[in-house]
Structure 1
């Protein structure tokens, strides 16, 4: 029991086998560069991209609801954000906010496109908010690990 709670309380590195190599930088084990285009996006870039997406979807939602005091506004914003996220990641590999902040979603297995199923599952896990907050030693959230994706920098 101590091993289980110890690894949980000590962070993701504590669960690794003794002597296991985590790499010199985030993304090294995935074959990604340390910095620049193709490197893993930082948490700040990811949060900024999410904020941009959320604000844009809020503006679009106001076209449907037309009342800031409406009790359904937050539900409509979430629905628009979900649909935009799944649609744009499936089609282009990034959301509008990720594009503006210089990021895109990539498959870690080297596949060309993320695809509809991965984009749908990834977006559904982000809705719950907890999976993106729990990161592994590479800095990828649970939603990215579950779908075999990573958010990488484009510039």
Structure 2
């Protein structure tokens, strides 16, 4: 019987060989440690960071842009607008959003350089449409990170 391991992930292309050997872990193929500082940030901690960011962006949208929960029409996109601006500016300049910083995460390029504004913009626009962010590769990098050439690492 053929299963998913035989055909690989659609991100890797048909016929890709996925290793599930003992000692394999997210980030190994990127030359990263298995755990601790510098390792790939796992899904749970990234989810907590984005929840914090979204909550803060919603509060900012309410205070600055007059957003009200359940607002109809285009007004409901105000928190998303704040979220996009926050991510592009903070990831592009500091390497982390407020939620990332709170949970000890940092976004860098796979070439180990700072993300920068261009990669942060690409990553954020894809993150804003959600779907690319919930499709991962074997290194637990979302499709938005793969396209932007970035990864989220633990700092502590």
Shorter-chain TM band: 0.7 to 0.9
Q: Which of 67, 85, 101 is matched with 1:83 structurally?
A: 85
Q: Note the aligned Cα RMSD (angstroms).
A: 3.0
How far the C-alpha of 1:3 sits from its partner, in A, is: 10
Counterpart mapping for 1:55-66 below 5 A: 55-63=55-63, 64-65=65-66
Give the structure 1 partner of residue 146 of structure 2. Answer: 145
Q: 1:74 matched to which residue of 2?
A: 76
Q: Which ranges of structure 1 fall in alignment gaps of 5 or more residues?
A: none
Q: Distance in 2 between matches of 1:58 and 1:107?
A: 28
| Deviation (angstroms), 1:101 | 1.1
Q: Deviations over 1:49-104 (max 9, x none)?
A: 10000000000011121544532542110000000010000110001111111101
Does the Cα contact within 8 Å between 1:61 and 1:77 map onto a contact in 2?
Answer: yes
Q: Contact 1:32/1:39 (CA < 8 Å) preserved in 2?
A: yes
Which SS does the other structure have where 1:139 is aligned?
coil
Name the structure 1 match of 2:96.
94
Count of matched residue positions in the alignment of Structure 1 and Structure 2:
152
In the TM superposition, what is the alpha-carbon distance from 1:48 to its structure 2 partner? 0.5
Change (3 A) 1:22 1:140: farther
Q: Which runs of 5+ in 2 are unaligned?
A: none
Question: What is the match of residue 115 of structure 1?
Answer: 116
| TM norm structure 2 | 0.84
Q: CA deviation at 1:121?
A: 0.3
C-alpha distance 22-57 of structure 1, shift in aligned 2 (>3 A): farther
Please give the secondary structure, in 2, of the residue aligned with 1:53.
Answer: helix
Q: Report the Cα offset of residue 11 of structure 1.
A: 8.9
Aligned residue in 2 for 1:49: 49
Structure 1 outlier segments of 4+, above 4 Å: 8-15, 18-23
